[in-house]
Amino acid sequence: MELPVPGRADLRVVTNQAPPLVGHNVVTSDAALVEAVLRHGSQEVLDSLVDLGAEAGSAEAREHGVLANEHHPELTPYDRYGHRVDEVRFHPSWHWLMERAIGHGLAAAPWEEQADGAPHAHLRRAAGFMAWGHTEPGHGCPVSMTYAAVPALRADDALAKEWTPLLASRRYDPGVRPVTEKVGALAGMGMTEKQGGSDVRANTTRAVPVGTAGGDGTYTLHGHKWFTSAPMNDVFLVLAQAEAGVTCFVVPRVLPDGSRNQLDVVRLKDKLGNRSNASSELEMDGTVGFRLGDEGRGVRTIIEMVAATRLDCVLGSTALMRRAVSEASWHVTHRSAFGGRLVDKPLMQNVVADLHVETEAATALALRLAAAVDAPHDPHEVALRRIALPLAKFWVCKRAPMMVAEALECLGGNGYVEESGMPLLYREAPLNSVWEGSGNVNALDVLRALGREPEVLDAWITEVGRARGGDARLDRAVDDTLAMIGALLGEPDRLEQQARRLASRMAAVLQGSLLVRFAPAEVADVFCASRLGAVHEGVFGALDSGDLAAIVERTTPTTA
């Protein structure tokens, strides 16, 4: 039988391709997110996020995310007349994304709302930050730093009163102008230097007091910063060496008299991902800074900003994971191969279910941490946040790259093409594990907390103990982890060497305890069997049992 020759019209008929994942609400279609918000917050909090979720899942938002990454920020060191301006120009899509992120209250608004008595301000913001992260991850950096600056600014009442209302504004007001002329402001951070990296005590930037020993807190800074993101922000928290040691300074872009501060942008970094966001190297020679906190206490002063941005690293990684598994589950639901839908194939079902379990565990832990921020006077919540934050930062951010890669593979060759959006997610996935302390820095921070603050281990034991009796595998994992902690604390020579192993185990057990308490039985069962059991294959899609079809159905988005 002779086969018919297809004509041009036949060749252009498209079949068996998944439609674009747009027109869905990224909040209400995320069952794990919805349940966590209701668990730690209220229906009112969830309702306040619905509009954000709809906009984040729109075709318009997706297009702006693409354009912001295609058109990279451009440095303009001089104006046409030769004046030094050090400005960065962004594509209009960047400003579209920023305007909406700020308008949805994802910057510093929760600190003011919490002060006004809002009970779940940080939980709402965390869930919104995670959901809005589906649009485009790069612009989350200045949003995150603006959020994180406020608790550090509280080291000085006058500086906090000057800056917090503008940072907490829901109005996006870009441009280099005096803050007295602005209705909103953004903050950045300058910690690392080319010779030190995470070892900020090795910094060489000098702070010279103006007047008698800097009596009014004014200094000039002389040195450089190796990695300062968002150099167009209005104010930066910067570390420099003063007479008494490393000190924190508030460095405005524009000085109170209206003149521009001396901040030379040497170049913008050419990065693996995060390309919509401008990350720069700065030089300072006579740059004016206002001391924040005491001389020699700079690390302690800025640590609250670091802690807040670490939480956003967890939220950001979770958002990448959720976006990636949504794309994967959507694709396999609409794609057929070998005589049936991919989603109905047992092995593909295994992979997607496993990816969802990883994402749900990350979501549960991330929003549990956000809820702890809403309880700053509860000793258990404070201690839990202290130990669980470096655990989550280490574990969730470390899991994201391999998980996004597996989700990309679910789309096959389609996932390797830029238009799918998956390469952008893949390039972004390693960032949060590097930013605000690499994996080793956070694993060592876990050891530091265990060694210096005994209440943090008590908080971890109490939290995981709330699931005691819910799953025998979890119970065994808790006991084994406690035995590991005891053994390692008794062997200081091995303790640092085994820091990653310990952090991984403590984080996975904490995730398992949250899922056993709160997640559907099929999710908790699969997590405990695959992450806490005697055997872990080390790859996604190697689940040995469980209601995989129910888990896949739970993760697949639905459109309006």
| H/E run at residue 237 | strand 235-242
Angle between helices 298-334 and 140-153 (to 10 degrees): 150
DSSP 22: -
User: What number of residues does the chain have?
Assistant: 560
Q: Please name the residues in contact with 164: beta carbons below 8 A apart, sequence gap of 6 or more.
A: 108, 111, 112, 150, 153
Q: Phi, psi at residue 331, to the nearest 5°?
A: -65, -50
Residue 530 in contact with residue 536, Cβ under 8 Å?
Answer: yes
User: What type of residue sits at position 520?
Assistant: P
Rounded Cα distance between 499 and 478, Å, is: 17
Separation of CA 532 from chain center = 25
- Nearest one of 400, 188, 172 to 279, comparing CA atoms: 188
DSSP 18: P
Going along the chain from its start, the domains and CATH numbers come out as 31-167 (no CATH), 179-296 (2.40.110.20), 301-555 (1.20.140.10)
Rounded Cα distance between 458 and 464, Å, is: 10
Full pLDDT tens readout for the chain, 560 residues: 788 888 888 788 888 999 999 999 999 999 999 999 999 999 999 999 999 999 999 999 999 999 999 999 999 999 999 999 999 999 999 999 999 999 999 999 999 999 999 999 999 999 999 999 999 999 999 999 999 999 999 999 999 999 999 999 999 999 999 999 999 999 999 999 988 777 888 899 999 999 765 578 999 999 999 999 899 999 999 999 999 999 999 999 999 999 999 999 999 999 999 999 999 999 999 999 999 999 999 999 999 899 999 999 999 999 999 999 999 999 999 999 999 999 999 999 999 999 999 999 999 999 999 999 999 999 999 999 999 999 999 999 999 999 999 999 999 999 999 999 999 999 999 999 998 889 999 999 999 999 999 999 999 999 999 999 999 999 999 999 999 999 998 888 889 999 999 999 999 999 999 999 999 999 999 999 999 976 666 788 888 888 999 999 999 998 76
User: What type of residue sits at position 199?
Assistant: D
Rounded Cα distance between 148 and 167, Å, is: 10
